Amino acid sequence: KAGVTQTPRYLIKTRGQQVTLSCSPISGHRSVSWYQQTPGQGLQFLFEYFSETQRNKGNFPGRFSGRQFSNSRSEMNVSTLELGDSALYLCASSFGSGETQYFGPGTRLLVL
Amino acid sequence: DQQVKQNSPSLSVQEGRISILNCDYTNSMFDYFLWYKKYPAEGPTFLISISSIKDKNEDGRFTVFLNKSAKHLSLHIVPSQPGDSAVYFCAASSNFGNEKLTFGTGTRLTIIP
C-alpha cells in the first residue's frame, strides 16, 4: 500500500508570493491533516479536512488555507508569504475516527 | 503555552541497553497519546499509542507507560539498536476521535555502538 505522498518536496519562493502544496493520502483514508515544523515552534497543527470539510483548525493566520477534494487529496495554500513561513510542511492521513495518523515526507519551503 | 513537553532535548544510550524517553503534559483533556520517530528529511513515523483507559501498551521492543495522575508518559525501547537513533516526538489529542495532535518538542536519541 502506497504511503502519503507530498509534492513538491522542495520549494523556494520570495516574500509576498503565494504557494500551493499538495498531499495524496493513503488509499481509503478520508482525513488529511497539515502540520508546520519549524526549529523554534516544533510541530504545529494547521488544519484537518475530512470528507471535503474542514473539521479542525489550529492557530494560524488566514493566509494559511486548505481544501480537500472528493478523492481525499488535499492542498494547502499560503498567500503573501513571509520569511517566517519557511518550514517543513507535513501532511498526515488517517481513516478519520481517532485512528493513527500517518505522515508524508513533507514539503520544505524556503521563503527568501 | 507548551501543553506537551519533552524536557530532554537529547539522550545517548549504549546499544543493547534500555532507552527511556519521557513526556509530560498539562492539558487534562488529553486522552490519547502517541509516539513518533523522525529521521532527517522524512516525515514522522508512527511507533506506538496508548489511550487514557490504559496505563501500558507494548509492541515488540517498544512499551509506552501512562501515568495519568502525574500527567506523564514514557517510551521504553529495549534492547536499543543503532537504527533507533532518531528524534522522538510524543503527541496527544483530546476527545478521542479528534485528529488534532499536539506535539512535544522532540528528544534526539543516539544509540552508541
The Cα B110–Cα B113 span in angstroms is: 10
Contact B96 A42 (CB under 8 A): no
Q: How many CA atoms lie within 13 A of B11 on its CB side?
A: 23
Q: Which residue has the cell 510542511?
A: A89
Contact A48 B41 (CB under 8 A): no
A:B CB pairs within 8 Å: 60
pLDDT tens for chain A, 112 residues long, are 689 999 999 999 999 999 999 999 999 999 999 999 998 788 999 999 999 999 989 999 999 999 999 999 999 999 999 999 999 999 999 998 777 899 999 999 999 9
Closest CA to A93 of B48, B40, B46: B46
Q: Is there a contact between A32 and A93 (Cβ–Cβ < 8 Å)?
A: yes
Q: Which residue has the cell 523522525?
A: B38
| B19-58 tens-digit pLDDT | 999 999 999 999 999 999 999 878 999 999 999 999 999 9
| Average pLDDT of the residues of chain B | 93
> pLDDT tier at B96 (50, 70, 90 boundaries)?
low
Residue type at B107? T
A82 min Cα distance to partner chain B (Å): 22
Residue-level pLDDT at B97: 55
Query: Which of A35, A43, A48, A95 to mutate: most B Cβ within 10 Å?
Result: A43
Ranges A37-41, B70-74, B82-86: which has the least confidence = A37-41
Residue-level pLDDT at A87: 96
The Cα B49–Cα A76 span in angstroms is: 28
